[in-house]
Amino acid sequence: MSVNHLPVHDIPALSGNNAPVSREDVFTDMEVIGQVPSDLNGLYVRNGPNAYYPPDWRYHAYDGDGMLHAVSFEHGRVTYRNRWVQTSALQEEKAAGRALWKGLKEPWRQDRPDEPLKNTSNTDIKYHAGRLISMWYRSGMPYALDPVTLETLGTADYDGAIQRISAHSRPDEHTGELLFFDYALTPPYMQYGVIGPDRKLRHHIDVELPGASLPHDMAVTEHYTILHDMPLRPDPEALAAERYKLRFFADQPSRFGIVPRYGQASEVRWFNAKPTYLLHVVNAWEDGDEVVMVGTPYRTYTDASGQLDARRLEQTIHLRQRDFLLYEWRFNLRTGQTLERVIDDVLNTEFPVINSLYQGRRNHFTYNVLFPQGGREEPRFPGLVKYDLRTGGYVAFSAGPQYFYNEPGFAPRDGAVAEDDGYLVTLVWNPVDQRSEIQIFDARGARMAEGPMARVILPRRVPHGFHATFVSQTTLDRWK
Ligand SMILES: [Fe+2]
C-alpha cells in the first residue's frame, strides 16, 4: 500500500511528537520547576531524525535528516539550541529545493552508487578532539559540528583518511582517541580503526568476516576492542538478487572479535556465544584473563521443543518491537571460552548510559531507558532505570505510560569522585501538558526513584530521537 500524498500527520512515524520541527532556535531563561543544580556544568546533546522536506514517500522512522538538540548547563543557567546536521545530501537537496532521496522503504537511488540511501547522520553524537561528531547507523561519512553553536563544520574525514564510520564508534576520554568501526555489504565487510587526539588516523585494519553483517555497536577496554558479528545478517540469497532482507540464523553463534587496540587483522580472536542480536553495549573491561562485556541483547525465547525460537526473534526485530535483557559475557583470553549470564530479566530496558569516565574500566552502574514489558511496536519509553551491575538490583522511575524519555546523559557533578556522583539529564515528552521538558535527576544512591529534581519547560516541543551524549565542562575546557 502506498501512502504517498498523505498529509504528514497520517503517517505514524511522523505524527504526534514524531513530527519534525521546522525551526532552528535558541532558548534561554526558560521556566524551571525545582532547581537546576549549580554544580552541573557541561553539554547534553541528542541526535535524531527531523525531515527537512515533508516526506512524500513511505516514510520510515529512521529516514529523517539528522538534527541535534543541545542543552548547555552553566552554574544553573540553561540554554537550549537545535540545528540540522548539514550533510552533503541535505545540501544537494536544498540546492534543488526538494527531496532527492526517499527512504528505507522505497527503492534506493540507482543513479547514486556513492550514496544509494541518504546518509542522514541522524543516529549518534559523540565528542572527540574539540568537536561534536555525528554518525549514521548504516555507516557513512561522519560530520563535525561546533559544540557551542552546533554549526556543521564539514565532514569529519580526518584528512581524507576515512570515508565512513558507523554510529556507536567510541571516543576514549582517557587517551583522547576515537575508536571506530564500519561495515558494508561488499568486502571488506568490516573495518576497524583508531583516530588520535590530533585528529590523525593512527590505526586502520580490515576485519575478516564470512559475509555481510549488521553490527550496531562496539566495546572498548583499556587495551582491547570488541567487534560484533551477530547472526542477524543481510540474507546472502537476497543480496545475490540485489535485494536487502535481514535474516536471523538461529544455528549460528553470536561472534565477538577481540583485538588489541592497535592489533592487526591476524590478531582478532573470535569468541562464540549463544545466538541473539545485540544493539547496545553498556561497558566492557578487563578482569584477569577475562574481557567482560555487558549489554542489552534481545530477549530470546525457546519453542515447544526447547529450541531457540528464531522466528519470534526475527519478527521482534523486523517489527522493531522492544524486548531486552541486561546481560554479561566473559571472554577468557587464556582458554578461548565464553561464559555468559543474565544480569536482569525482570525489567525491559535499553539505551544504556554510563559515567563516560568509566568506559573501558570496571563500573558498577548503568542508566537505561525503561520500556513496558513484552515487545511492542508502538515506542513507549516511560521512564529511567539505574542498575547496579554487581547485584542486578535497580532503582526505577516511570512518569506514566505515555511519557517518552530519550536516552539520558550522565553528568558528573563538579569535583565528583564516586561513579554515581552526578546527574542524569534528558529530554522528555510530557503528554499531560503536551510539551517537551529537560529533566534532571540526582543519580546518587537511590534518589532517582524520587523523580526529577528539576524540570525545564521548553517553549516548543522536541521530537523523539535516538542517541545522546553528555560532555562535561572539564572536557569542553580541555579542548578550548
Ligand atoms: Fe544505536
Span 175-204, pLDDT tens digits: 999 999 999 999 999 999 999 999 999 999
pLDDT of res. 7? 47
Beta strands in 298-447 (DSSP E): 326-332, 338-344, 348-353, 365-371, 383-388, 394-398, 404-405, 409-412, 422-430, 435-442
Q: Is the pLDDT of residue 313 over 90?
A: no
Span 371-396, pLDDT tens digits: 988 766 677 899 999 999 999 999 99
Ligand 1 centre and the CA of 154: distance in Å?
Answer: 23
Number of alpha helices (DSSP H) and beta strands (DSSP E) in the chain: 4, 33
pLDDT of res. 304? 86
3-class state of residue 238 by DSSP: helix
Ligand 1 centre and the CA of 168: distance in Å?
Answer: 7
3-class state of residue 193 by DSSP: strand
pLDDT of res. 311? 84
Q: Which three cell numbers stand for residue 101?
A: 532521496
Residues near 341 by beta carbon (within 8 Å), at least 6 away in sequence = 327, 328
pLDDT of res. 1? 29
pLDDT of res. 416? 95
Which H/E stretch holds residue 78? strand 77-84
Q: Is the pLDDT of residue 438 over 90?
A: yes
pTM of the model: 0.95
Ligand 1 centre and the CA of 38: distance in Å?
Answer: 31
Q: Is the pLDDT of residue 3 over 60?
A: no
Ligand 1 centre and the CA of 352: distance in Å?
Answer: 10
Ligand 1 centre and the CA of 35: distance in Å?
Answer: 31
CB 71 within 8 A of CB 78: yes
pLDDT of res. 377? 63
What average pLDDT is seen over the chain?
94
Ligand 1 centre and the CA of 295: distance in Å?
Answer: 12
Ligand 1 centre and the CA of 321: distance in Å?
Answer: 14
411 to 67, 128, 163, 198, 422: CA distances (angstroms): 22, 17, 32, 25, 5
Ligand 1 centre and the CA of 217: distance in Å?
Answer: 7
Ligand 1 centre and the CA of 50: distance in Å?
Answer: 17
Q: Is the pLDDT of residue 9 over 70?
A: no
Distance CA 84, CA 21 (A): 10
Span 59-108, pLDDT tens digits: 999 999 999 999 999 999 999 999 999 999 999 999 999 999 999 888 88
Which residue pairs from 35-38 have beta carbons closer than 8 angstroms and sit at least 24 positions apart in sequence? 35/76, 35/453, 35/454, 36/73, 36/76, 36/77, 36/78, 36/440, 36/454, 36/456, 37/76, 37/413, 37/423, 37/440, 37/453, 37/454, 38/75, 38/76
pLDDT band (50, 70, 90) for residue 5: very low
Ligand 1 centre and the CA of 342: distance in Å?
Answer: 21
DSSP string, 92-142: HHHHHTS-----TTSPPPTT-TT-SS-----SEEEEETTEEEEE-TT-B--
pLDDT band (50, 70, 90) for residue 10: low
Ligand 1 centre and the CA of 336: distance in Å?
Answer: 28
Q: What is the mean pLDDT of residues 122-132?
A: 98
Nearest Cα to Cα of residue 37 among 78, 91, 95, 79: 78
Ligand 1 centre and the CA of 216: distance in Å?
Answer: 6
Q: Is the pLDDT of residue 14 over 60?
A: yes
Ligand 1 centre and the CA of 335: distance in Å?
Answer: 31
Ligand 1 centre and the CA of 472: distance in Å?
Answer: 22
Which H/E stretch holds residue 315? helix 310-318
Ligand 1 centre and the CA of 220: distance in Å?
Answer: 16
Q: What is the mean pLDDT of residues 24-43?
A: 98
Distance CA 85, CA 68 (A): 7
Ligand 1 centre and the CA of 476: distance in Å?
Answer: 24
Nearest Cα to Cα of residue 293 among 369, 384, 217, 349: 217
Ligand 1 centre and the CA of 279: distance in Å?
Answer: 6
Span 252-277, pLDDT tens digits: 999 999 999 999 999 999 999 999 99
Q: Tell me which amino acid residue 274 is.
A: K
Q: Is the pLDDT of residue 319 over 80?
A: no
Ligand 1 centre and the CA of 351: distance in Å?
Answer: 8
Ligand 1 centre and the CA of 280: distance in Å?
Answer: 6
Ligand 1 centre and the CA of 125: distance in Å?
Answer: 10
Phi, psi (rounded to 5 degrees) for 153: -90, -15
Q: Which three cell numbers stand for residue 228?
A: 560484533
222-226, 311-315, 443-447, 464-468: least confident range: 311-315
The β-bridge partners of 445 are none
Span 427-437, pLDDT tens digits: 999 999 999 99
Q: Is the pLDDT of residue 364 over 60?
A: yes
Q: Is the pLDDT of residue 167 over 80?
A: yes
Q: What is the mean pLDDT of residues 113-138?
A: 96
Ligand 1 centre and the CA of 136: distance in Å?
Answer: 9
Span 327-351, pLDDT tens digits: 999 999 999 999 999 999 999 999 9
Order across the sheet with 190-195: list the strands: 170-172, 177-183, 190-195, 201-207
Q: What is the mean pLDDT of residues 440-448?
A: 97
Span 322-332, pLDDT tens digits: 899 999 999 99
